[in-house]
């Protein structure tokens, strides 16, 4: 039960709509942590979703809700309105370490104006 509650809270937070500045018709967030540890320990909070110069820009926080440090890599997959991955939008992996309870802000920008949804992918290292 100790691990189930944080996982459920993270899932609910990840599915929440963004604060003011959301973009009508765009999908807000899908987070896919890899491995049971990350699923229970890594939370995401969307702060805003907007368009700048026609491209989707998302501001979010990633939080380590565990009592241990987590070393992981993250990337973003961008999709168009039909759900197809954007061609030519190669995944760029970024390494990150979050100490227990630490939260870090992240801003991601779509590589093309046709991007209307995205998925944050994380892999523990």
pLDDT at 119: 87
Residue 83 is part of a domain; what is its CATH number?
Answer: 2.60.40.3230
Domain count for the chain: 1
pLDDT in tens, 46-83: 889 999 999 999 999 999 999 999 998 898 999 999 98
Mean residue pLDDT across the chain: 76
Where in the sequence is the domain holding 30, given as residue range(s)? 4-124
Cβ neighbours of 40 (radius 10 Å): 19
User: Could you tell me which residue, 28 or 60, shows the higher pLDDT?
Assistant: 60
Taking a C-beta distance cutoff of 8 angstroms, is the pair 80, 54 a contact? Answer: no
Strands (E) located in 8-114: 31-34, 42-52, 55-64, 70-79, 94-98, 103-109
pTM above 0.85, yes or no: no
């Amino acid at each position: 039960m100790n691990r189930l509650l944080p996982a459920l809270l993270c899932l609910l937070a990840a599915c929440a709509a963004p604060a003011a500045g959301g973009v009508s018709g765009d999908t807000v967030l899908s987070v896919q942590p890899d491995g049971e540890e990350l699923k229970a320990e890594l939370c995401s909070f969307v702060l805003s979703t907007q368009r700048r110069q026609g491209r989707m820009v998302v501001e979010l926080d990633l939080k380590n809700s565990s009592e241990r440090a987590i070393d992981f890599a993250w990337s973003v997959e961008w999709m168009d309105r039909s759900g197809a991955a954007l061609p030519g939008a190669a995944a760029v992996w970024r390494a990150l370490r979050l100490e227990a309870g630490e939260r870090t802000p992240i801003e991601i920008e779509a590589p093309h104006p046709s991007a209307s949804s995205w998925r944050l992918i994380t892999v523990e290292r």
